[in-house]
Amino acid sequence: MIRLFAACLSLFVVVMTAWSVPSAFAAPQDFLAPPAPSSVSSSVPSKIVEPSVVDLMQDLDALYQKALDATNQGDFATAETYWTQMLDRFPQNPAVWSNRGNARVSQNKLEDAIADYDKSIELAPAAPDPYLNRGAALEGLGKWDQAIADYNHVLELDPKDPLAFNNRGNAEAGLGQWQAAIADFKQACDLAPDYAFARANYALALYQTEQTDEAIRIMRNLVRKYPKFADMRAALTAALWAQGKQGEAESEWVAAVGVDSRYKNIEWLTKNRRWPPQMIAAMEKFLTLKSS
């Protein structure tokens, strides 16, 4: 999973003006520009923000909001365009480089995304988000060890980052290291109890290691709490079918594909969603018998 690198554009432009910094640098939440002096001599007039700076600030805020809106609508090509327009104005902004990388990942432009994350890391080596996001892109290329190295670095910067634990679990699963993946998914759940996707990954990894009853228990709990959680509806379908509970499996399946029809596609489940092999096998049996 990737994460938006938060940027406080308006705050930075104001601080930039007071300090007469020659180039702008939008401040993520933990990467702020130096504060303004706490006191100013009464003989020095207050700094007045130039109208051109106000216009720039408003322009950047508007582009930032347009990029977020396009992302929320799933229009990642348009979001990429807005991030690029922001970089044309502030090429030294690490948050925007990382966020454009996110838009590119969502279009499967993985190599281009990694180049953006590299630039973001160059500009803000102490910020965790570009490493987290680059790791997700590396996963998409099947470069599991490199992805794990990025997640390890995120956890060096923030040892309690649940997304880093979840993503490292995904990469470990890619290497077939299921016990390590289970430990990381569980840690993500412990750190963020409402992190539903980490809990789903935990259930799938348990199913892969034949801890079937516990896996199904977690799936049922997730479906009860999140009725439109198609991933767990579909997984529960396959697991229940394998147990011979055809009626219940059929009911879960109707609910799953009513939300997301991609779960009919084994290739998508294998390459994109990356379900574990045992879960894929159970779903294949269900789909084969269902269509016969």
pLDDT of residue 283: 98
pLDDT band at 9 (very low <50, low <70, confident <90, very high): very low
Bridge partners for 274 per DSSP: none
Residue-range domains of the chain with CATH: 194-292 (1.25.40.10)
**How does DSSP classify residue 261?**
G
Q: For residues 99 and 217, what is the distance between their CA atoms, to the nearest angstrom? A: 37
- Largest Cα–Cα distance of the chain, in whole Å? 88
For residue 103, is pLDDT > 80? yes
The secondary structure element, H or E, covering residue 288 is: helix 277-291
Mean pLDDT of 132-160: 97
pLDDT of residue 169: 98
Which DSSP string corresponds to 39-52?
Answer: ---TTSPPPPPPHH
pLDDT band at 284 (very low <50, low <70, confident <90, very high): very high
Q: Contact 204/279 with Cβ under 8 angstroms?
A: yes
For residue 44, is pLDDT > 80? no
Q: Contact 76/106 with Cβ under 8 angstroms?
A: yes
pLDDT of residue 7: 52
Q: For residues 98 and 82, what is the distance between their CA atoms, to the nearest angstrom? A: 13
Task: With both helix axes pointing from N to C terminus, report the angle between 196-208 and 212-225 in degrees, rounded to the nearest 10.
Answer: 160
Buried b (16+ CB within 10 A) or exposed e, 222-247: bbeeeeebbbbbbbbbbbbbbeebee
pLDDT of residue 15: 26
pTM of the model: 0.81
Handedness of CA 200, 203, 204, 205 (dihedral sign): positive
pLDDT of residue 20: 24
Looking at every residue in the chain, the average pLDDT score rounds to 85
pLDDT of residue 3: 85
Chain length of the chain: 292
The number of helix segments (H) and strand segments (E) in the chain equals: 15, 0
Mean pLDDT of 140-151: 97
- High-pLDDT (> 70) share of the chain, %: 83
Mean pLDDT of 66-77: 95
Q: Contact 154/135 with Cβ under 8 angstroms?
A: yes
pLDDT of residue 54: 73
How many CB atoms lie under 10 A from the CB of residue 205? 27
Model confidence over 208-267: pLDDT tens digits?
999 999 999 999 999 999 999 999 999 999 999 999 999 999 999 999 999 999 999 999
Classify the phi-psi angles of 178: left when phi > 0, otherwise alpha if psi is within -120 to 50, otherwise beta. Answer: alpha
Model confidence over 177-210: pLDDT tens digits?
999 999 999 999 999 999 999 999 999 999 999 9
